[in-house]
Amino acid sequence: MNNEIILISTTSILTATIKEVLKKRKLDFPIYEATMEEAYKIAEAAIQSGTKVVICRGGTAAYLRDKVGVPIVDIRHGFIDMHLSVESAKKISDKIGVVGFRDICEAANDYNQIMKTDICVTEVKNENEIKEKLKEHVNNGTKVVIGGFQLAKAAKKYNVPYVAGQADPSAINLALNEALHDLKIEIERKEKYETINSILNCTSEGIVGIEIDGQIMHINEIAKKILNYKEQRNIKEILPSSLLIDTANTGKENFSELINIGGQSIVINSVPIKVEDKTIGAVATIQEENKIQSIDREIRKKHLGSGHVAKKTFADIIGRSRVIDVVKKRAVRYAQSDSTILIIGETGTGKEVFAQSIHNYSNRKRQPFVAINCAALPENILESELFGYVKGAFTGARNEGKAGIFELAHMGTVFLDEISEVSTDVQVKLLRVIQEKEVSRIGDDKVIPIDVRILAASNKNLMEEIYKGNFREDLYYRLAVLELELPPLRDRKGDVKELIHYFIKEKTKTNMIIAQDAIQMLCDYDWPGNIRQLANIIERLTVICEGGIIDGEKTAEVLKNMTFNKQDSNKSKEKPASETEAKLINIIEMLIGEKTNTSGIQKTSKAIEKVEIFNEMKKDILSETSSFGPNLFAQIEAEIIKEALEKTGGNREKAAELLCISTTTLWRRMKKFNIL
């Protein structure tokens, strides 16, 4: 049985007629027989179980309409109803009276007017008046009364003949039609309400709607959670700010108010609710500050795209030599810090691999990693990529503007490769970003706070670049809070064999074999291009070699044109090294343990014999050969440089000329021994 509509009858006659009408219309709605308070209890119970419309009659209908929250449809009394009732009453007496609520009384008055009769009609406001009005009718000579269920009880008590108000089937049909229409409206309203409610509850924001006095009209689940809502009726009970009530009273919008509730910061925006330009309340959106930050990070990640993530980890750094192991351990330790890191190393040593590994081992690993090669872009393009720009900032700028990499990498890591190639103008702006932790887009005066960790890399000696005036010293100290120097491949030749097998597997995805003589040739090569060069050579060999074997003949063929050494690959504008400079470099090489035999020392001594400042130290060098070590060489080289500077009054150019070395080499050695 469908209980979306129920019918409450006030008389047994009405009940019988309703059943006939429902049967003819093939409708199956529950019928109850009750009045007033009892009818109210029935209606309340039915509403709890899903009833959306109640059909009733007369005074009981009016009574329910004031108490329940669903539509009440009245089976109205009409002319035919009254005519049938009067005809029944006339069989008892012509002295007829009508006592009841407004609906039946209006029908009786219409009957009097149409039929030119003078039936006495008395309207009552409530059930308690019925007995008194009945007595008045009897005292005035009324012999029979017409009315509803309440009148029937009173007439029986005072032994007055009674005729029930008749029920015209057409009136019941009209009531059913109205009820079905109301049901359709209620279903549509409920659907819309549930849809809106679902929309409001699935947003990431809390939403609260209030009336002008602060009474809460609606609050979604998110707002309940944020505001710790416990069925409070007024917004003042849960929100300490007067912002929302001010909006409701003044009609003025308010945005981005930050307040603290229960130890958490929330952001509130409020707008007035207006009907025909009249403010009737206000609605507010509420967000937790940490949720806004989280959404901001997710948006930045999506703007970055899949290509701006760190894919490498320390496990991807191939090699087990002591030198690379030391660097890896240092990098792991650095990763736990949040300080800037300057990664130094020759081209191809894997600076970006280390940068990505540091990011993926840090606390920022779940945040963006954005890398940019500063040497790959012209100055104006590099500046726009770093800092972003607003609409119309320059010719060719996007209409919507663009966020720079510092904005996009918020909470994550920025890797600035080839940092030495940044112009001094851009260096100034970069320094401000690092110092102030904020960035301004090109063409904008707004400042955007950022939280990024900066990793920088260079294959040049930045101290030399500072000396040449190409790099700002203050920026260098900002970038080089931590330094990580990567060894060239020639200093970790024990790793070459492992790298060869790794690249063969990576390039061929098969078990291609490499001959031992080929491995030896590759291990003996100095690799001025470092790991990148090795990877390229292996890829070339996997392509040109047939039969799944890399042999020595093909390897020798590939390497025969690779005769340039480290010095050739790093040529500069300096003049060629003199014999004395070459011998001084020999001393430096011995400091890292490559040459430690006595004959080498004696040859070096003879080669520099003609240089005046070396003569005074000749005996000391030769007398210490039996206990010669790196520390002694460092002392000797430092003393040579100091004495040259003293003899030239601190003039570096003259000291370099006296030592027969370039000023750049002198500066590099002075930096190493802290002679500045």
Looking at residue 279, its pLDDT comes to 87
Query: Over pLDDT 90: what percentage of the chain?
Result: 33
Residue 204 pLDDT exceeds 80 = no
**How sure is the predictor about 197, in pLDDT bands with cuts at 50, 70 and 90?**
confident
Annotated domain spans of the chain: 5-75+171-184, 79-166, 204-292, 305-485, 489-568, 577-672
* Nearest-angstrom CA–CA distance, 583 and 605: 9
Looking at residue 7, its pLDDT comes to 95
- Lowest average pLDDT, out of 231-245, 340-354, 564-578, goes to 564-578
Cβ-proximal residues to 168 (8 Å cutoff; 6+ apart), any chain: 78, 80, 81, 84
> By three-state DSSP, how is residue 267 classified?
strand
- Lowest average pLDDT, out of 307-316, 399-408, 450-459, 559-568, goes to 559-568
Per the CATH hierarchy, to which homologous superfamily does domain 5-75+171-184 belong?
A: Response regulator (3.40.50.2300)
Stretch 40-50: mean pLDDT? 93
Residue 530 pLDDT exceeds 90 = yes
**How sure is the predictor about 596, in pLDDT bands with cuts at 50, 70 and 90?**
very low
CATH topology of 5-75+171-184 equal to that of 79-166? yes
- Lowest average pLDDT, out of 262-266, 309-313, 347-351, 587-591, goes to 587-591
3-state secondary structure 35-80: CHHHHHHHHHHHHHCCCCEEEECHHHHHHHHCCCCCCEEECCCCHH
Q: Please state which architecture CATH assigns to domain 204-292.
A: 2-Layer Sandwich (3.30)
pLDDT tens digits for range 91-126 = 999 999 999 888 889 889 998 999 999 899 999 888
CATH fold for domain 489-568? Helicase, Ruva Protein; domain 3 (1.10.8)
Residues 43/8, Cβ–Cβ less than 8 Å: yes
DSSP for 320-337 reads --HHHHHHHHHHHHHHTS
pLDDT tens digits for range 625-654 = 444 444 556 677 787 888 888 888 788 888
**Considering only the top CATH level, what class is 305-485?**
alpha beta
Domain 79-166 has CATH 1.10.3720.10: no
Residues 452/412, Cβ–Cβ less than 8 Å: yes
Nearest to 608 by CA among 574, 567, 561, 659: 659
Burial label for 134, CB within 10 Å (0-12, 13-18, 19+), is buried
For residue 438, give both structure tokens.
């904020």
Looking at residue 586, its pLDDT comes to 52
> Largest alpha-carbon pair distance within the chain?
156
> By three-state DSSP, how is residue 449 classified?
strand
The amino acid at residue 228 is: N
3-state secondary structure 479-498: HCCEEEECCCHHHHHHHHHH
pLDDT tens digits for range 292-327 = 666 665 655 555 554 568 889 999 999 999 999 999
Looking at residue 459, its pLDDT comes to 92
3-state secondary structure 572-590: CCCCCCCHHHHHHHHHHHH
**How sure is the predictor about 187, in pLDDT bands with cuts at 50, 70 and 90?**
confident
pLDDT tens digits for range 209-222 = 888 888 888 888 88
Q: How far is CA 465 from each of CA 429, 458, 469, 660, rounded to the nearest angstrom?
A: 18, 11, 6, 21
DSSP state of 167: -
- Greater pLDDT, 580 or 385: 385
Q: What are phi and psi of 203, to 5 degrees?
A: -75, 165
Looking at residue 569, its pLDDT comes to 43
Residue 421 pLDDT exceeds 80 = yes
Cβ-proximal residues to 150 (8 Å cutoff; 6+ apart), any chain: 35, 36, 59, 127, 130
3-state secondary structure 139-158: HCCCCEEEECHHHHHHHHHC
Residue 583 pLDDT exceeds 80 = no
Stretch 435-439: mean pLDDT? 90
